[in-house]
Structures are given as C-alpha cells and as structure tokens.
C-alpha cells in the first residue's frame, strides 16, 4: 500500500492500531465472499452431467460455457480499476457479490444454450471485478508484516471451493434440481454482498484506474509473455482439467455422478497444505526450479488421466492436483522479479485474465469438442502434453535473482 492509499484509509481500515488477531473476523468475512465468488464460477462442473441430460447439450456445448465465462472474467478483471476508482474497493466487493448472485440465479432459469452462454458471460463479468479490490482490501486491514498471513487466509477460499463445491453439489442433487442449487448459491451470494455493504470493514478508499504507460512497459518484457504461457498451462492443470473431470469420469469410465464428484472433491484436500509448501520451497530454492518440477510431474500425471484404465483412474485423479498448486507461489514470485513495485500489480492484472481465458476457458472448450468426436480421453491426454511443454519453455525464461 502506498502513502496515498494509507491516507485514504477510512473507518474500516485501522491498519496502524489493530493487531492481526483482531482483524481475523473481517479477513474471514472477505475470504467467505471470495469463496462464494469462486464457487459460482466452478459449480457448473460437478453439475454438467445433469445439465447435459436435462437440456440436451453436447460435450462441446458444455465445455463452451467455461469459455464464455472466462471471456467475461477477462474483460471485467482488466477493467476493474475503472470501477473501484469511482466507488471504492469496499463497494466494488459488495457489487460483485450481489451481481454474481443475480447472474447465477439467471443461469438457473436458462432453458437454451444461447441463454446459458449469455448468463455465464455475465457471471464472468460480475466475478472479475472482485479480485483486485479483494486483495487490496485484505492488505489494507493489517500491517505490512502480516500481509503474507492475510493473503494466505484469503487464498484458502479457492482451494476450499475445489473441495467443497463438488461435494455440496452432489449432496444437494439428492433433494433438489440443478436449477435450485444454482439459485440457492446465487441468493446466498446476494445476501453476503448486502451484508458486506452494510457491515463490512476495509477498502474504504478509491482504487487506481489502469495506467497505459505501465502496460506498454510490461508488454515489452519477453519474460512476461513466457509467464503468460506458463500461467495458462498452470490453470489448465488445475481449473481447466477440474472443469471437465466429473463429466469425463461419468461418460468415459462409467462412474456414478456422486462417486465422480466425491473423488474430484476429496482429491483436492491435499492442495490446502501443498500451497503453503510450495511457498516455502519457492523461498528456499527459487521459483524456476519449483516450476520446472511442477510442470514435468503434473504434465505426466495429467497425461495419465487420459490413458489410465478404469481400475487405476481414481488413483491418478487423486494424485494429479497435489503438485499443480505449488506453481502459484513460484509463478507470482517470478512475476515479481520481472516487474517493478510500481507496475507489479499491473503485471498480475494482465497475466491472470489472459491465462484464465486460455487455461480455464479455451482448453475445456477444446476438450469438449474432442469429446463430441469420440476422443474425450485424447483431449485430456493432449492437455497433459501441453502442460509438459511448460517444462521446456522454462529453459527460455530469464529471471533476476531477487532472493
């Protein structure tokens, strides 16, 4: 946080006088909003077999939903600074939560592919404005020496969502239709947004609109483009595969939907601890060696998901995500070495949306198209080959030693 932001800290941002422990409540409140934000973006994955059957979608149609969501997310994340620079970060978080809930509720009423694509695009737009304001608000609540712990609490949300979402979806499917589940999660997000608008702490200051001169500087750095490719491959190994995995297990390996969702959910439990281990290893050995190991091992395991027999598929699915999440501490550290403190946030804001479109949207869409042609397993395996390409790409990445 710079000096200007510090002087703008409002009633909810008692950064100078509060201890980390006293700020746990507002931190957990913001993390819970992020949990709902992320859940809204991935909840379609465990529901896809049911949605396909109910609406008559092909695998390609189902995969395209993630592409439309990621495009909306891309546009919104790039332009989020324009919103927070006008209505403050706290109001941006509240608006995002409410809009996400409304969009998810609209999806529950969709009866055609066109309508659902439009609604998931709006969902991506609504979700994308959250992240920059969420991170900024989290760091405004505590002193700089506590930023690591505060961000770690915030980043537990996506990992918890990967675990809880398929388990929650499958449990609720025993009593409700998929439409009811989406509507329920949407209404919870709306309520949380309203409550945060009334009672939330932190973020009572304006954001900064994108600086195009900083963008030009970043785009001229060769390592930046390599890191975009690496982040895209990393998101492919986590979110991209996750989005299509329940459908793959049901249609290609004959698993029941409840067993497939339970397997996918429980396989992510280990990622909670591995993310912290990845951060420690990055500090100890540097980002590049960690990324080399992650892409090599994760690529092979993703390749095996497409090749494994039904007898072995559960074991491979359980092991595949273990190392994948270790990329992110190393990846963000690498981004930090190629950027200055002044344009570091801009580098991240440019990298994540592009990588999300490619890894979280385009790859699932292509896997769905291949599945329609009868090559579902090939689509998964080729994703593994792509991920392994990151291993070779890293030898062209030049980083400064900032340890």
3-state secondary structure 32-63: HHHHHHHHHHHCHHHHHHHHHHHHCCCHHHHH
Question: What is the model's pLDDT at position 325?
Answer: 81
Q: Say which residue the tokens 């273990």 belong to.
A: 322
Q: How many domains does the chain have?
A: 2
Residues with Cβ within 8 Å of residue 379, at least 6 apart in sequence: 244, 306, 366, 367, 368, 369, 370, 371
State how far the Cα of 188 lies from the Cα of 153, in Å rounded to an integer.
21
The answer to whether residue 2 is domain-embedded is no
CA distance 34 to 221: 31
Residue ending a domain, among 158, 177, 210, is: 210
Same domain, residue pair 202 and 304: no
Other C-beta atoms closer than 10 Å to the C-beta of 188 total: 17
- Structural domain contains residue 37: yes
**Residue 2 burial (CB count, 10 A):** 10
pLDDT, tens digit only, all 403 positions of the chain: 333 333 333 434 444 445 677 778 888 999 999 999 999 998 988 898 899 889 988 988 888 898 999 899 988 887 877 888 888 888 999 999 999 999 999 999 999 999 999 999 999 999 988 988 887 788 778 776 666 677 777 878 888 898 899 889 888 988 999 999 999 999 999 999 999 999 888 878 877 676 677 678 788 888 889 999 999 999 999 888 988 898 899 999 999 888 988 888 888 887 777 777 777 777 778 888 889 999 999 999 999 999 999 889 999 999 988 888 888 777 877 876 776 655 565 677 788 888 888 998 899 889 999 998 999 999 999 999 999 999 999 989 887 654 4
> Which pLDDT value is given to residue 286?
80
* pLDDT computed for residue 340 by the predictor: 63
Is residue 250 a part of any domain in this protein? yes
Does 245 share its domain with 201? no
192 with 267, same domain?
no
CATH number at residue 256: 1.20.1250.20
Whole-number pLDDT of residue 185 = 94
28 and 73 both lie in a single domain: yes
Asked whether residue 120 falls in the same domain as residue 133, the answer is yes
The verdict on 324 and 220 lying in the same domain is yes
Q: What burial class does residue 215 get, using C-beta atoms within 10 Å of its C-beta: 0-12 exposed, 13-18 middle, 19+ buried? A: middle
18/20 Cα distance (integer angstroms): 7
Which ranges of 236-320 does DSSP label H, i.e. alpha helix?
241-253, 257-266, 271-285, 287-307, 310-319
Taking the whole predicted model, whether its pTM rises above 0.85 is answered as no
Last residue of a domain, one of 181, 210, 239: 210
pLDDT at position 8, please? 38
Domain final position from 210, 245, 276: 210
68 & 200 share domain: yes
9 found inside a domain: no
Residues 265 and 391 occupy one common structural domain: yes
What would the DSSP string read from start to end of 192-254?
HHHHHHHH--S--S------HHHHHHHHT-HHHHHHHHHHHHHHIIIIIHHHHHHHHHHHHH-
> Among 181, 121, 141, which residue's Cα sits nearest to residue 28?
141
Domain that holds residue 250: 211-398
In-domain check, residue 151: yes
Looking at the domain assignment, is residue 282 inside a domain?
yes
Residue 285 counted as domain residue: yes
- Are 263 and 350 in a shared domain? yes
User: Is residue 201 located within the same domain as residue 330?
Assistant: no
Q: Which distant-in-sequence residues (6+ apart) come within 8 Å of 241 by Cβ? A: 302, 305, 320, 380, 383
CA atoms within 13 A on the CB side of 159: 20
Domain assignment of residue 8, yes or no: no
DSSP code of 357?
Answer: I
């Amino acid at each position: 946080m710079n000096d200007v932001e510090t002087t703008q800290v409002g009633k909810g941002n008692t950064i100078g006088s509060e201890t980390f422990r006293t700020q746990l409540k507002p931190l957990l409140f913001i993390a819970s909003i992020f949990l709902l934000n992320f859940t809204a973006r991935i909840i379609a994955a465990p529901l896809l077999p049911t949605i396909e059957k109910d609406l008559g979608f092909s695998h390609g149609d189902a995969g395209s939903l993630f592409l439309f969501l990621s495009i909306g997310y891309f546009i919104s994340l790039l332009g989020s600074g324009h919103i927070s620079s006008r209505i403050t970060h706290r109001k941006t978080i509240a608006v995002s939560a409410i809009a996400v809930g409304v969009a998810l509720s609209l999806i529950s009423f969709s009866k055609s592919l066109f309508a659902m694509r439009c609604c998931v695009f709006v969902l991506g737009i609504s979700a994308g404005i959250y992240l920059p304001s969420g991170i900024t608000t989290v760091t405004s609540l505590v002193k700089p020496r506590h930023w690591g712990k505060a961000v770690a609490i915030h980043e537990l949300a996506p990992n918890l969502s990967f675990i809880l979402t398929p388990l929650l979806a499958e449990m609720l499917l025993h009593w409700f239709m998929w439409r009811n589940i989406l509507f329920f999660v949407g209404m919870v997000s709306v309520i949380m947004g309203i409550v945060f608008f009334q009672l939330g702490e932190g973020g009572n200051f304006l954001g900064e609109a994108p600086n195009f001169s900083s963008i030009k500087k970043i785009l001229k750095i060769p390592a930046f483009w390599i890191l975009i490719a690496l982040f895209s491959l990393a998101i492919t190994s986590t979110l991209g595969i996750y989005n299509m995995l329940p459908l793959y297990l049901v249609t290609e390996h004959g698993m029941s939907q409840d067993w497939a969702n339970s397997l996918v959910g429980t396989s992510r439990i280990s990622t909670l601890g591995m993310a912290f281990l990845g951060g420690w290893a990055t500090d100890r050995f540097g980002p590049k060696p960690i990324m080399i190991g992650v892409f090599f091992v994760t690529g092979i395991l993703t390749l095996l998901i497409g090749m494994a027999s039904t007898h072995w598929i559960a074991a491979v699915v359980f092991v595949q995500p273990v190392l994948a999440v270790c990329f992110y501490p190393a990846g963000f550290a690498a981004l930090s070495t190629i950027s200055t403190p002044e344009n570091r946030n801009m580098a991240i804001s440019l990298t994540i949306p592009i990588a999300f479109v490619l890894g979280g949207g385009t790859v699932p869409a292509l896997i769905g198209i291949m599945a329609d042609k009868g090559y579902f397993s090939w689509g998964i395996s080729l994703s593994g080959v792509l991920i392994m390409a990151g291993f070779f790409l890293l030898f062209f990445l030049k980083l400064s030693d900032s340890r």
